[in-house]
Amino acid sequence: MTRLITYPAVAAALALTASCAPTSDMGMPGDRADGPERQCFYGEQVRNFRAGSAGQLYIRAMRDQVYELNSSGGCTDLDFAQRLAITPDVGGLAGGRICTGDWARITLPASSAPVRTCRARVSRVLTEAEIAALPDPHRP
């Protein structure tokens, strides 16, 4: 009987340990920042945002960093959004921190329609030259 109780406890401990393990970028282009460390922001630090092409979002966080997010679909009306919330997709296990290569949830509140939520991957941090090269409607 005691073995039946310990197996779920061991399985839970292994799952928690595995969730903290570093993950690779799986060879996806643009998933990593140029430097060796991933660059991160908190959802509360987002100061401005603009929609890019379909499913693309640029956000400006503290320290004037501009991040590119690419949605996996379902992020409609980003170009008409006046406000949004960005939270980690893992449910806050990272303390609210969102880094390059991570998935995030974008919540679009609406006055007449239900709240819409979609997922997007934080692709990269743009350089100063890339920010300057963005078209005006896309630059946050």
- Look at residue 94 in the predicted model and tell me its pLDDT: 57
Residue linked to tokens 């880094």 = 99
| Residue 46 contacts residue 58 (beta carbons within 8 Å) | no
Exposure of 123 by Cβ count < 10 A (0-12 exposed, 13-18 middle, 19+ buried)?
buried
Average pLDDT in the 7-20 region? 46
Domain ranges of the chain: 31-138
- Look at residue 111 in the predicted model and tell me its pLDDT: 65
- Look at residue 36 in the predicted model and tell me its pLDDT: 55
- For 39, 47, 117, the CA distances from 87, given in Å and listed in that order, are 16, 14, 10
- Report pLDDT digits (tens) over 51-101: 888 889 999 998 889 999 998 777 777 888 888 899 998 765 557 899 999
Residue 16 pLDDT greater than 50, yes or no = no
- Report pLDDT digits (tens) over 112-128: 777 888 899 999 999 99
The torsion region of residue 61 among left (phi > 0), alpha (psi -120 to 50) and beta comes to: beta
Strand-pairing partners, residue 106, are 86, 118
- Report pLDDT digits (tens) over 25-54: 444 334 444 455 789 999 999 999 998 888
Residue 21 pLDDT greater than 70, yes or no = no
d(CA 7, CA 20): 20
